[in-house]
Structure 1
Amino acid sequence: MATAARAAAYFQRGSLFWFTVITLSFGYHTWVVFWPQSIPYQSLGPLGSFTQYLVDHHHTLLTNGYWLAWLIHVGESLYAIVLCKHKGITSGQARLLWFLQTFFFGIASLSILIAYKPKRQKQT
């Protein structure tokens, strides 16, 4: 594949470590916000005690934080599309992958795109 074509279709999957951390964290946050009565607090040690305190005293903050986190992910994913254009990524598939990966994994994906430095074509 030519360099220009490769740059136009650039996509890099993020770190499995960060994707796992984010998935587990968002999953736990979802569980805490929507089904707090089903959490086995006493089985989770210090995390369970802390979570129960937050649910009992700051559930509105947890809920607002949950929706704010999703809103931030929407903003990051839209910014990823802008960055794709700025960096010369013109492939629709690559742009969609950046959008989706950034929507679900936020800065763990967006930081890869921000760090990407496409090689500039020499003008003849």
Structure 2
Amino acid sequence: MARSDSSSYFRRSSLFWMMVVTASLSFYTWTVFWPQDVPYSSLGPLGALAKHFVDYHYPVMYYGWFLAWIIHLFEALFALKVCSDKGIDSSSARLLWFAQTFLFGFASLGLLIRYKPDGRPKRQ
């Protein structure tokens, strides 16, 4: 999707990664805030692991949930810096990169980091 005008460059993350991140963070939120409602026995090994963490490491899970969102916020702020460095000046494109990176983390940021605005091929 290389364009000669990189000021409005935006590319959506892979649907696979969007679904993985959404499902993971949703399950994590569920186990942190409503652990009594999770059907652990129906989830196999994942349920057993989640139950163990809820029973024995709940404070780590609770603070880890906030830490995960803080990390996503810093990734999104870094995406804004990368947009500036790569000459993406369109406020709508920058907002899309910020929002997508905040929600999906490195699945989005990786696309932005790999983007070469001058059309040069990527180094392997």
TM-score, normalised relative to structure 1: 0.92
Q: Distance in 2 between matches of 1:50 and 1:106?
A: 24
Q: What is the Cα-based RMSD across aligned positions, in Å?
A: 1.1
* Deviation beyond 6 Å, 4+ runs, structure 1: none
Rg: which structure is higher?
Answer: 1
Deviation at 1:65, TM superposition (A): 1.1
The residue that corresponds to 1:42 in the other structure is 41
User: Percent of aligned positions with the same letter in both sequences?
Assistant: 52
Paired amino acid for 2:74 = G
Partner SS state of residue 56, structure 1: helix
Q: How does 1:4-43 map to 2 (within 5 A)?
A: 4=5, 7-43=6-42
Q: Distance in 2 between matches of 1:29 and 1:102?
A: 19
Deviation at 1:102, TM superposition (A): 0.2
Indicate yes or no: 2:57 matched with 1:58. yes
Deviation at 1:3, TM superposition (A): 1.8
**CA shift digits 1:17-36 (9 cap, x unpaired):** 00000000000000000000
The residue that corresponds to 2:74 in the other structure is 75
Q: Distance in 1 between matches of 2:55 and 2:96?
A: 39
Q: Which runs of 5+ in 2 are unaligned?
A: 120-124
Partner SS state of residue 12, structure 1: coil
Deviation at 1:64, TM superposition (A): 1.2
Equivalences, count:
117
TM-score, normalised relative to structure 2: 0.92
The residue that corresponds to 2:122 in the other structure is none
